[in-house]
Amino acid sequence: MLEELTVRTARREEMIDITSLVRAAVRRSGIEQGMVYVYCPHTTAGITIQENADPDVRTDLLTHLARLMPQDAGFRHSEGNADAHIKSSLVGVSHALPLDRGNLTLGTWQAVFFCEFDGPRTRRVLVKVVAG
């Protein structure tokens, strides 16, 4: 089963907790055991698994990525979003999660985040649930 989710971002850079959207896609699949693949088909966004208890973790991650790759660092790419392409490569565009008895096997404080690096935009996230 492959499901397409829509994520609307409000800022140039932000992390949005999409765990509930992924869980809903898993429920709709009806699959209880296997793997869940979460994939972002955009070159200026990403997917990560990170702590969801303290919002400062998200702020720190975005702040330090911006320090590593500032938007105005004199890149050759002419669209003004070269930093977003590099941040996407650093964070990655997908994650695989084991599915056990219909539940994502996330740690106590973990959540699945969509990472926007070139917003605001309307984005797609693909969720593939595979029985196994």
Q: Give the pair of three-digit tokens for residue 113.
A: 């985040």
| Domain range summary for the chain, segments of one domain joined by + | 2-131
What average pLDDT does the structure give for the chain? 96
Confidence bin at 96 (pLDDT 50/70/90): very high
Under CATH, domain 2-131 is a member of which superfamily?
A: YjbQ-like (2.60.120.460)
Q: Say what the pLDDT of residue 78 is.
A: 82
Q: What is the pLDDT of residues 97-107, one digit of tens each?
A: 999 999 999 99
> Rounded distance, CA 11 to CA 3, Å?
25
